[in-house]
Amino acid sequence: MGLDITVLVVDWDHLRRTPAAERLKMLEDSAYPDCDCDGGCGCADARVEHGWVRWPDTPWCARYEFFQTLGSFKPHFWAGQAWEDVRDVADPGLRAALDAFLAGLFWLGLDDADTGTDTGTDTGTETEAEPVVGLFPAEPDAWRPQLLVARTPEQVPDLARAWAVAAPLLEGLREPYAVHAERPGRWIANFEEFTTLLRDWGEVVTEASRTGRGLIGLPI
């Protein structure tokens, strides 16, 4: 058994109109609604293996399925570890952009003492997003979080801008990644798996920014 993650793009106004104590349950129910149909009702059900899952009854919410992760958080964790392995030899522009992008999603980032020297590159992004405060009940147990990701519609555009900088620079990381971060046999074993996961997150962030919505990552 391990930690799972379900990523949703959410209409924040709809979320705010729901009583605070009911929001998490509403999100959980909306992420995996009961549906006994055979596909004839027009809903996109859990059989989608990669990409967006949407339902006509909940137009305020959409789920994204990451490529070959089976819903596990482990690929995201190991992508963060891989970035730590290779970031020191990355192009400064890519390093600044991916630091901002990944720290706003699933990477815990580095201690201030470990961040190295100033890159001298301005991506127009912040390296850490402020936590969402007051929208959900307080976490009862830090070791069993209710939310893995929570980014408001105001925070998402910074992530989209960071991704727009990083995406065209990723190919330049291929050779250093093979030397410093490739780990056969584990989740995110190579450069292709690393960039596939990042491009999926790029799709999520871009869609959320385009539609003015926020991001939620549930541990289910």
Residue 45 pLDDT: 54
Residue 142 pLDDT: 53
Helix segments in the chain, DSSP class H: 12-17, 23-31, 74-86, 92-103, 156-166, 174-180, 191-211
Residue 42 pLDDT: 46
Residue 125 pLDDT: 42
Beta-bridge mates of residue 54: 62
Please say whether the beta carbons of 109 and 99 come within 8 A: yes
Task: Name every residue whose Cβ is closer than 8 Å to that of residue 96 and which is 6 or more positions away in sequence.
Answer: 119, 121, 122, 123, 125, 127, 165
Residue 67 pLDDT: 97
| CA-to-CA separations, 92 to 117, 174, 184, in angstroms, rounded | 10, 15, 27
What are the per-10-residue average pLDDT scores of the chain (220 residues)?
Answer: 90 94 93 65 63 94 96 97 97 97 93 47 46 66 74 97 98 97 95 98 98 96
pTM of the full structure: 0.86
**DSSP letters of 183-202?**
-TTSSS-SHHHHHHHHHHHH
Please say whether the beta carbons of 71 and 57 come within 8 A: no
Longest dimension (CA), the chain: 57
Closest by alpha carbon to 111, among 103, 121, 120?
103
Residue 48 pLDDT: 83
Q: What is the DSSP letter of 72?
A: B
CA separation for the pair 33, 40 (Å, rounded): 16
Dihedral sign for Cα 57, 199, 213, 138, please: positive
Residue 36 pLDDT: 52
Closest by alpha carbon to 200, among 57, 47, 9?
9
Residue 194 pLDDT: 98
